[in-house]
């Protein structure tokens, strides 16, 4: 396979102005007639052949301006259609193909899911529907006619507005949809099936009425209310925060049960994984609700950042994804608690993106080469991409950032653009050169910022030295210094000290641009504790050796909530690391006492308190250790800290839980979710005591819960604690929800994460359970994904069985759904940091995969890079 390179980008030789698609659904003989208005691109090579992309297509016929071309003038294969000498003027190309949606197990292109036939075209799925210039810089106006059996598919949807519909002979019917906004092929969508829907209306800021529809499997209408509410809040927020109004008469969401991704932002017709639409208190947790809110917002926000302005090529993926993640994070922050949202996002960034950046799959936010674009929908492109936008805002300020966004929308509406085009807008409104800032898009690896400081009592100054290094990553042995915004303050006995820097009042942020730099703060009257990287102002690893007493100062007094949380995490991380190295030492009682004091006040901000009480994960600790990782030792060290807290504080924890007990019926709002999160975090820690009355309380909560959050939390505590109460609870959970696949996913997931040696056999057994299906991505992720990525001790078993299991499953899935298979392999992205025995087994499993015959491009790309 030849890699695709950013440096090789060329404008297309031809453009397509309009597309008429006529799709007649008819099982294995589904017919697609595409009528394309083609013209030579003035920016392309004149006289070049027209080479349309195709993938697994069955060609039937072609016409140019209504006449069949001579056979020697074109070539049609399953993977492409070429016109050797196309007319050098506008012409109409008609091509007919045949498809079988039911046999499409890749879930790319046109495929069958339980309730309907639907499409997924990003990144390169449109070429599985018809031959096309399937690249994001070819923007066309689409008209789509769908025809189907009326009983089988009473609902026919496509992008845009419906302009015509009617009945046909033989029990068939049709609908015609027109989308007036030029769009790239990856945003095409159609859906046909037996769907029910709920409808609502939104009136835009300028007074236009927009019809909103959420389409679901019949019987699931009652679970759409939260998604609809989130959609309306998203539409309002984008008007208020970014001045962006919706532009069509109708906005539709369709929930489907077989979907590779979370959701897809097709123009006017978003297709969603049903997991991110359907929710009721009985079936969805608070986390599910928060995810639904965020993903509904994310896809809606793409209408401007992605659809109206799209990417010139797939290397620019972060142009739409990083920016849109930033926008959905801002939305959730405004809807909920900003500090809590920031902590959750940073936890996720560190566990996913930092891990990716530290291993063989590291790549820049804007990669410069790919073998398979589907493998670049990564934490780096999405989450680090969002951090880069956040840093841009911090560096140029809120007003210049908003002005830059306005300029971007004004200047590039209707275009397919690059990161350079985007950044140029902010260079203009911020009045500064952003050349060095562009390194955030080009250099991979997580920068390390080392801080050392010294207070001088005589001169009342504090000298802070910040030094940056960026580790080598694949293809990038050496790096240039980046521009790193560091928010900071100095904390004294009664809070933040007023500071001066270089003779001026300090505004709370410095931009480190050199390899190292010393800042001398003036007017510092007492010995301060520096609070650095407030709000996690840059996606870097901060190395700052603080005494435990100083960590406690920050934990208790920092004005920055993120750093209060960080101080507790850093303290706990240090304790777990010590317990890993010296298992016989007792746990530091000062930390436990500080947690006890904190509990007295925890009710003031329950959501924040819950995060503070959540111990660093095993993966967090593994990342800190970095080399020769032994997951069993980490597990034991973390349990030691949990046990010490539980034994010392179980009474207080259980009282807090009691005091927070629910008032009134379940509501998924942030306040209620925060209370439940704190109650369940307290219960988890208390359970570390191993006391019978705590376990009994968990079992009671499981049985009596009136919502899925509490029931699921109890089930998870029971299974993680490996107690006899777990089995009957699992049994009763299954009986209760056996007909509800999305809930059964939770049942599969908690079992996959049990940290004991029987789990691998249990997972293998569950693969044969009627509730499991290897063809459904949600089931696969719930069972196999959770085992490989969410059960560090059992996946990384010292005998290598976990790795061999993954390799076997990947080979099986690869034949059906390469995208899904490749995702699973990335569970091995940190394999080189394991201790030698496990590392050898993991390497052998990867090498075994590499040698397998007929591996997909998706899997061989990941395996190849992991082994490189
Ligand atoms: N559906 C994916 C997302 O919204 C890809 N665009 O991020
Ligand atoms: Zn997106």
Residues 107 and 252 sit within 8 Å (Cβ to Cβ): no
For residue 632 and ligand 1, the question of a CB distance below 6 A is answered with no
pLDDT of residue 714: 98
Which domains, ranges and CATH numbers included, belong to the chain? 1-105+124-192 (2.60.40.1730), 195-302 (3.30.2010.30), 309-536 (1.10.390.10), 544-690 (1.25.50.10)
Dihedral sign (CA 185, 186, 190, 196): negative
**Average pLDDT of the segment spanning 466-490:** 98
For residue 155 and ligand 1, the question of a CB distance below 6 A is answered with no
pLDDT of residue 330: 99
Is the pTM higher than 0.90? The answer reads yes
Q: Is 180 helix (H, G, I), strand (E, B) or coil?
A: strand
* Span from the CA of 484 to the centroid of ligand 2 (angstroms): 26
Closest by CA to 646, choosing from 698, 675, 683, is: 683
Closest by CA to 849, choosing from 834, 827, 796, is: 827
pLDDT of residue 80: 98
* pLDDT digit string, tens, across residues 696-718: 999 999 999 999 999 999 999 99
- Longest Cα separation, the chain: 95
Confidence of residue 679 (pLDDT cuts 50, 70, 90): very high
Confidence of residue 436 (pLDDT cuts 50, 70, 90): very high
Q: Which atom of ligand 1 is nearest to the CA of 295?
A: 4
DSSP 350: I
For residue 802, pLDDT beyond 80: yes
Nearest ligand, CA of residue 123?
1
For residue 23, pLDDT beyond 90: yes
Q: Which atom of ligand 1 is nearest to the CA of 262?
A: 1
DSSP 72-119: GGEEEETTEEEESS--SS-EEEEEEEEE-GGG-TT--EEEE-SSEEEE
For residue 858 and ligand 1, the question of a CB distance below 6 A is answered with no
**Average pLDDT of the segment spanning 464-470:** 98
Q: Where are the beta strands (DSSP E) in 217-327?
A: 250-256, 263-264, 269-273, 310-311
Alpha helices for 738-856 (secondary structure H): 741-752, 759-766, 777-780, 786-790, 792-795, 801-814, 818-825, 836-851
Q: At what angle do helices 631-659 and 589-600 cross, to 10 degrees?
A: 30
DSSP 833: G
Q: Give CA–CA dist 260/264, Å, rounded.
A: 10
For residue 506, pLDDT beyond 80: yes
* Pocket-testing residue among 254, 302, 322, 381, ligand 1, by greatest number of atoms within 8 A of Cβ: 302
* Span from the CA of 411 to the centroid of ligand 2 (angstroms): 22
**Average pLDDT of the segment spanning 608-613:** 98
For residue 93 and ligand 1, the question of a CB distance below 6 A is answered with no
pLDDT of residue 419: 99
Closest by CA to 846, choosing from 799, 811, 819, 818, is: 811
124, 265, 299, 725: the catalytic one is: 299
Q: Which tokens is 66 given?
A: 């209504």
* pLDDT digit string, tens, across residues 142-173: 999 999 999 999 999 999 999 999 999 999 99
C-alpha gyration radius of the chain: 28
Q: What are the residues whose beta carbon lies below 5 Å from ligand 2 (ion)? A: 321, 324
* Span from the CA of 295 to the centroid of ligand 2 (angstroms): 9
Confidence of residue 18 (pLDDT cuts 50, 70, 90): very high
* pLDDT digit string, tens, across residues 346-393: 999 999 999 999 999 999 999 999 999 999 999 999 999 999 999 999
* Pocket-testing residue among 262, 329, 382, ligand 1, by greatest number of atoms within 8 A of Cβ: 262
* Span from the CA of 265 to the centroid of ligand 1 (angstroms): 6
**Average pLDDT of the segment spanning 807-813:** 98
For residue 526, pLDDT beyond 90: yes
Q: Give CA–CA dist 340/562, Å, rounded.
A: 8
For residue 663, pLDDT beyond 90: no
For residue 299 and ligand 1, the question of a CB distance below 6 A is answered with yes
293 catalytically annotated: no
Q: Which atom of ligand 1 is nearest to the CA of 298?
A: 4
For residue 507, pLDDT beyond 80: yes
Q: Is 793 helix (H, G, I), strand (E, B) or coil?
A: helix
Q: Give CA–CA dist 60/78, Å, rounded.
A: 11
* pLDDT digit string, tens, across residues 537-546: 999 999 999 9
Nearest ligand, CA of residue 186?
1
Nearest ligand, CA of residue 270?
1
For the chain, what is the mean pLDDT?
A: 98
pLDDT of residue 617: 98
Q: Take atom 7 of ligand 1 and give the residue whose Cα is closest.
A: 321
Phi-psi region of 415 (alpha: psi -120 to 50; beta: other; left: phi over 0): beta
For residue 387 and ligand 1, the question of a CB distance below 6 A is answered with no
DSSP 855: -
Q: Give CA–CA dist 393/387, Å, rounded.
A: 10
For residue 722, pLDDT beyond 90: no
**Average pLDDT of the segment spanning 815-820:** 98
* pLDDT digit string, tens, across residues 550-601: 999 999 999 999 999 999 999 999 999 999 999 999 999 999 999 999 999 9
pLDDT of residue 662: 73
Dihedral sign (CA 335, 340, 346, 347): negative
Q: Give CA–CA dist 850/443, Å, rounded.
A: 28
ipTM: 0.98
Q: Could you give the percent of the chain with pLDDT greater than 90?
A: 99
Confidence of residue 664 (pLDDT cuts 50, 70, 90): confident
Alpha helices for 317-384 (secondary structure H): 317-335, 338-348, 355-357, 379
* Span from the CA of 387 to the centroid of ligand 2 (angstroms): 15
Q: Take atom 5 of ligand 1 and give the residue whose Cα is closest.
A: 264
Q: Is 523 helix (H, G, I), strand (E, B) or coil?
A: coil
Q: Take atom 2 of ligand 1 and give the residue whose Cα is closest.
A: 264
**Average pLDDT of the segment spanning 294-303:** 99
pLDDT of residue 1: 74
* Span from the CA of 256 to the centroid of ligand 1 (angstroms): 15
pLDDT of residue 206: 98
pLDDT of residue 720: 96
For residue 383 and ligand 1, the question of a CB distance below 6 A is answered with no
* Span from the CA of 273 to the centroid of ligand 1 (angstroms): 11
For residue 486, pLDDT beyond 80: yes
Q: Is 215 helix (H, G, I), strand (E, B) or coil?
A: strand
Q: Give CA–CA dist 789/825, Å, rounded.
A: 10
């Amino acid at each position: 396979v030849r890699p695709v390179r950013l440096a090789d980008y060329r404008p297309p030789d031809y453009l397509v102005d309009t597309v008429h698609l006529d799709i007649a659904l008819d099982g294995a003989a589904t017919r697609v007639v595409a009528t394309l208005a083609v013209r030579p691109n003035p920016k392309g090579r004149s006289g070049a052949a027209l080479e349309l992309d195709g993938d697994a297509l069955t060609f039937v016929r072609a016409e140019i301006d209504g006449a069949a071309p001579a056979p020697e003038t074109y070539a049609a294969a399953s993977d492409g259609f070429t016109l050797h000498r196309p007319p050098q003027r506008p012409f109409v190309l008609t091509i007919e193909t045949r498809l079988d949606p039911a046999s499409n197990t890749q879930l790319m292109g046109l495929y069958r899911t339980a309730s309907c036939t639907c499409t997924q075209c990003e990144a390169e799925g449109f070429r599985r529907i018809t031959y096309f210039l399937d690249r994001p810089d070819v923007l066309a106006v689409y008209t789509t006619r769908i025809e189907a059996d009326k009983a089988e598919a009473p609902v026919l949807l496509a992008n845009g507005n419906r302009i015509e519909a009617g009945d046909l002979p033989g029990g068939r019917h049709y609908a015609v949809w027109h989308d007036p906004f030029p769009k790239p092929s990856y945003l095409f969508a159609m859906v046909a099936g037996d769907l029910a829907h709920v409808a609502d209306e939104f009136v835009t800021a300028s007074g236009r009425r927009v019809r909103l529809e959420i389409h679901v499997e019949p019987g699931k209408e009652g679970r759409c209310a939260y998604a609809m509410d989130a959609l309306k809040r998203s539409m309002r927020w984008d008007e208020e925060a970014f001045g962006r109004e919706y532009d069509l008469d109708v906005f539709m969401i369709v929930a489907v049960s077989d979907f590779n991704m979370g959701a897809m932002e097709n123009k006017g017709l978003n297709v969603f994984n049903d997991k991110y639409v359907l929710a009721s208190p009985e079936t969805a947790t608070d986390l599910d609700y928060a995810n639904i809110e965020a993903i509904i917002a994310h896809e809606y926000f793409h209408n401007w950042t992605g659809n109206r302005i799209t990417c010139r090529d797939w290397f620019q993926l972060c142009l739409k994804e990083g920016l849109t993640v930033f926008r959905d994070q801002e939305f959730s922050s405004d809807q909920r608690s900003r500090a809590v949202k920031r902590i959750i996002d940073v936890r996720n960034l560190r566990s996913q993106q930092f891990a990716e950046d530290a291993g063989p799959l590291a790549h820049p936010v804007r990669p410069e080469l790919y073998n398979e674009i589907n493998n670049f929908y990564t934490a780096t492109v999405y989450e680090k991409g969002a951090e880069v936008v956040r840093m841009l805002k911090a560096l140029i300020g809120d007003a210049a950032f908003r002005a830059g966004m306005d300029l971007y929308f004004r200047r590039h509406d209707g275009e397919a653009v690059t990161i350079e085009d985007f950044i140029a807008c902010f260079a203009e409104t911020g009045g500064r050169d952003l050349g060095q800032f562009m390194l955030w898009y080009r250099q991979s690896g997580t920068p390390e910022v080392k801080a050392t400081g010294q207070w001088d009592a005589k001169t009342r100054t504090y000298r802070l030295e910040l030094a940056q290094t960026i580790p080598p990553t694949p293809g990038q042995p050496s790096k240039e210094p980046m521009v790193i915004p560091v928010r900071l303050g100095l904390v004294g006995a009664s809070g933040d000290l007023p500071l001066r820097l270089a003779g001026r009042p300090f505004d709370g942020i410095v931009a480190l641009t050199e390899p190292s730099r010393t800042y001398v703060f003036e007017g510092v009257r007492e010995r301060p504790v520096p609070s650095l990287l407030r709000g996690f102002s840059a996606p870097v690893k901060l190395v700052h050796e603080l005494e435990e007493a100083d960590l406690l100062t920050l934990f208790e007094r920092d004005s920055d909530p993120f750093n209060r949380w960080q101080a507790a995490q850093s303290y706990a991380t240090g304790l777990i690391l010590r317990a890993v190295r010296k298992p016989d030492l007792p746990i530091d009682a000062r930390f436990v006492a500080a947690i006890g004091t904190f509990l007295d006040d925890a009710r003031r901000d329950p959501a924040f308190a819950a995060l503070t009480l959540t111990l660093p994960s095993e993966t967090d600790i593994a990342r800190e250790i970095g080399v020769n990782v032994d997951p069993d030792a980490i597990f034991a060290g973390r349990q030691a800290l949990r046990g010490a807290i539980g034994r010392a504080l179980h009474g207080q924890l259980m009282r807090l839980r009691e005091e927070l007990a629910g008032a009134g019926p379940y509501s998924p709002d942030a306040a209620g979710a925060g209370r439940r999160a704190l109650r369940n975090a307290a219960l988890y820690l208390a359970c570390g005591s191993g006391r019978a009355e705590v376990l009994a309380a968990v079992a009671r909560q499981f049985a009596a819960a009136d919502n899925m959050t509490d029931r699921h939390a109890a089930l998870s505590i029971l299974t993680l604690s490996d107690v006899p109460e777990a089995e009957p609870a699992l049994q009763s959970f299954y009986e209760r929800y056996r007909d509800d696949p999305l809930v059964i996913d939770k049942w599969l997931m908690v079992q996959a994460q049990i940290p004991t040696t029987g789990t691998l056999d249990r997972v293998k057994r569950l693969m044969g359970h009627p509730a499991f299906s290897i063809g459904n991505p949600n089931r696969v992720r719930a069972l196999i994904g959770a085992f490989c990525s969410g059960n560090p001790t059992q996946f990384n078993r010292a005998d290598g069985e976990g790795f061999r299991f993954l390799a076997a499953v990947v080979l099986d899935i690869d034949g059906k759904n390469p995208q899904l298979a490749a995702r699973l392999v990335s569970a091995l992205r940190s394999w080189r940091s394991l201790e030698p025995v496990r590392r050898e087994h993991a390497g052998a499993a990867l090498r075994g995969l590499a040698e397998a015959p007929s591996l997909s491009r998706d899997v061989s790309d990941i395996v190849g890079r992991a082994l490189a």
